[in-house]
Amino acid sequence: MTTPISASETPAAEAPAVGSTAPRRSGGEARVIGVSGNVVTIETDAPLMKNEVALVHVGGEALKSEVLRIYGKTADMQVFEETGGVQVGDRVELTKELLPAALGPGLLGSVFDGLQNPLNVLAERDGFFLRRGSSAPALPGEDVWDFRPSVQVGDTVRGGDVLGTVPERNIAHKIMAPFDLTGTAEVLWVARGPQRADAPVVRVRTARGREREWTMQHSWPVRSPLPTKLLRQRHSERLFPSQVLTTTIRLIDTFFPIALGGTACIPGPFGAGKTVLQGLVSRYSAADIVVVVACGERAGEVVETLVDFAEMDDPRSDGKLMDRTVVICNTSSMPVAAREASIYMGITIGEYYRQMGLNVLLIADSTSRWAQAMRETSGRLEEIPGEEAFPAYLDSSIKGLYERAGVVRANDGVVGSLTMIGTVSPAGGNFEEPVTQSTLGAVKCFLGLSSARAYKRFYPAIDPLMSWSRYLDQLKPQLAATMDPTWTESVKETTELLHRGDAVHQMMQVTGEEGVTVDDYLDYQRATFVDMVFLQQDAFDPVDVTIPLERQKESFQLIRRLVTRDFQFTSNDEVRNYFTKLTGLFKNLNYSEWRSARYRELLAEIDALEAQAVSQK
């Protein structure tokens, strides 16, 4: 199988640039003067830099760390490993580089930890129990890729320009000029054909007259949005999200749509179906690449995801779902600081594929445990706590995270998107806690899971009465063109029907069916019918598990017709009998192949039942 080649600069006489892959140069040494959990305080005469990577040497092990706070000649660092055995006086090596993500072909199908160490390599080398301080290259240099250049000698390139492509699984992986390239560079030499990952594929002369060689992979600091420099140089352009991310889940696509390049959150209590819902969205949504960040999820659930993704057929290709997936795996049993870094690692990888003009879906599970990692580190730093002891900057950190999603037109004019869906695990399903509230202020789609619906086996357990999407109006032009001119208004009217039905249901809890009028009971049955046949979806049925937009449109229009008819029933029994029969027919319709003979037969039975009810007026 083929693997990495690099796309970054290797100047000989300069310190490596931000996005380069030059060999790491030592930035001096420091010594440990204090230890508090995973936070280590150091002292040095060498220059320090915030977010700089440092290595704490203890017992022959080098523990990767990151500088968080600097004051004079001392600094606080978070260590991405357990700090047992670290003592005052231990040597610390400063690297003068920011925490990087290795970017290049070979990422797809990989499973990394929060620092982008390939877990399969560590398991083969060290066994299934991760050894402290163990690391491995994310993209090994021995693999060979078939480089197909798109530039030639004499061309002028800028940062982010496409130099060529290599086939990576089911995509054409674009090899781009380093994103931090200042000004322009002239191409002096170009390779062609099979090349080692660590071999130069392009030689250029920069505007300053220096010759440099670029390979097919490069690194980028994970805490800096990848396209920032391009936007300043006006090479790339950030666009307004205007297209729907099709998930094939009726409740989401119709009632609470997510924009391609938008943001959404899925908060819910334990057992409400967050992981299953994520898996369905990952498998069936209209995304070219899926990045799954398990930033603190339980190990058992992560293993289940890995097994399922490796075995599931990809509905968008002939391969497996894992062929277009990157997994960042930092479970709740792994070091807390690496959990905090893992989500930035996943976003950086997602931004990289977005820059190629691909639609990337990033699933973060769960941001609550990422926030808990920040809370623990903040406590070790003795910072002034905010609500529930979370750091005071929790809100801005969450907003900064989701702001990295979006739609971008790259240098070559191709448009790519990064859609971010984060799950939140509030204790006891309390949506008023700080992480959930800060997330709601950052996203534009809220898919709240309900333990009550999950208990009744109403899946997906998204509560339609408390969920919302600000994209419904934003996407109105596309929905009007592809679905129906009055689509948005119809959805809002149906949502109002659900609220009226719930109000009647609450009344019936006190008075019983006999205590409500026929008109009120009719509203209740209409709302229940919509819930049973449209909002609920059977993930175990091969037909109902994924519904294309055209079928969703047809089903919703039929439902709208059925629930807006002016029936004149004379008793609650008549209403109940009618909607019981109608619900049974419609559920069988959902399980039938679209427009098959059985599907048409059931449509005819629904029409006949409707006509019979109308004739009784």
Q: Each residue of 104-141: pLDDT tens digit?
A: 999 999 999 999 999 999 989 888 778 888 899 999 88
Mean per-residue pLDDT for 280-307? 87
Query: CA-based angle 119:285:138, to the nearest 5?
Result: 20
| Tens-digit pLDDT profile for residues 268-279 | 988 888 888 988
| Cα–Cα dist 194/5, whole Å | 11
> What's the confidence (pLDDT) of residue 26?
63
List of long-range contacts for 205-209, beta carbons under 8 Å, 24+ apart: 206/181, 206/182, 207/182, 207/183, 208/183
- Give the pLDDT band (50/70/90) at residue 71: very high
- Which residues sit in the known binding site for ATP? 268-275
- Give the pLDDT band (50/70/90) at residue 216: very high
Residue that wins the pLDDT comparison between 336 and 171 = 171
- Which residues sit in the known binding site? 268-275
| Tens-digit pLDDT profile for residues 382-399 | 999 999 999 999 999 999
- Give the pLDDT band (50/70/90) at residue 344: very high
Cα dihedral 390, 393, 394, 398, rounded to 10, equals -170
> What's the confidence (pLDDT) of residue 14?
37
3-class SS letters over 75-128: EEEEECCCCCCCCCCCEEEEEEEECEEEECCCCCCCEECCCCCEHHHHHHHHCC
> What's the confidence (pLDDT) of residue 615?
75
Mean per-residue pLDDT for 493-501? 97
Domains in the chain and their CATH numbers? 250-468 (3.40.50.300), 487-615 (1.10.1140.10)
- Give the pLDDT band (50/70/90) at residue 227: low
| Tens-digit pLDDT profile for residues 514-552 | 999 999 999 999 999 999 999 999 999 999 999 999 999
> What's the confidence (pLDDT) of residue 10?
36
| Tens-digit pLDDT profile for residues 87-100 | 999 999 999 999 99
Query: Looking at the predicted structure, is the pLDDT value of residue 229 above 90?
Result: no
Could you tell me the two tokens for 251?
């409740």
Instruction: Tell me if residue 154 falls in helix, strand or coil.
Output: coil
Which of 291, 154, 141 lies closest to 218, judged by CA? 141
> What's the confidence (pLDDT) of residue 300?
74
- Give the pLDDT band (50/70/90) at residue 428: confident
- Give the pLDDT band (50/70/90) at residue 235: low
List of long-range contacts for 473-478, beta carbons under 8 Å, 24+ apart: 474/241, 474/242, 474/259, 474/444, 475/242, 475/243, 475/244, 475/257, 475/259, 477/242, 478/242, 478/243, 478/244
How high is the mean pLDDT of the chain?
Answer: 90
Query: Looking at the predicted structure, is the pLDDT value of residue 18 above 60?
Result: no
Are 185 and 205 in contact by the 8 Å Cβ rule? The answer is yes
Residue that wins the pLDDT comparison between 183 and 211 = 211
| Cα–Cα dist 15/23, whole Å | 10
Per cent of the chain over pLDDT 90 is 73
Q: Give the H or E element holding residue 453.
A: helix 451-455
Could you tell me the two tokens for 60?
């022959």
Query: Looking at the predicted structure, is the pLDDT value of residue 613 above 90?
Result: no
104 vs 7, 407, 420, CA distance in Å?
A: 7, 21, 21
Cβ-Cβ contacts under 8 Å for 172 (sequence gap 6 or more): 165, 166
Please tell me the least confidently modeled range out of 227-241, 317-331, 337-351: 227-241
Q: Give the H or E element holding residue 598.
A: helix 597-615
| Cα–Cα dist 498/340, whole Å | 40
Q: Give the H or E element holding residue 507.
A: helix 487-511
> What's the confidence (pLDDT) of residue 617?
53
Query: CA-based angle 546:552:557, to the nearest 5?
Result: 160
Query: Looking at the predicted structure, is the pLDDT value of residue 27 above 80?
Result: no
| Cα–Cα dist 380/31, whole Å | 19
Mean per-residue pLDDT for 446-462? 94
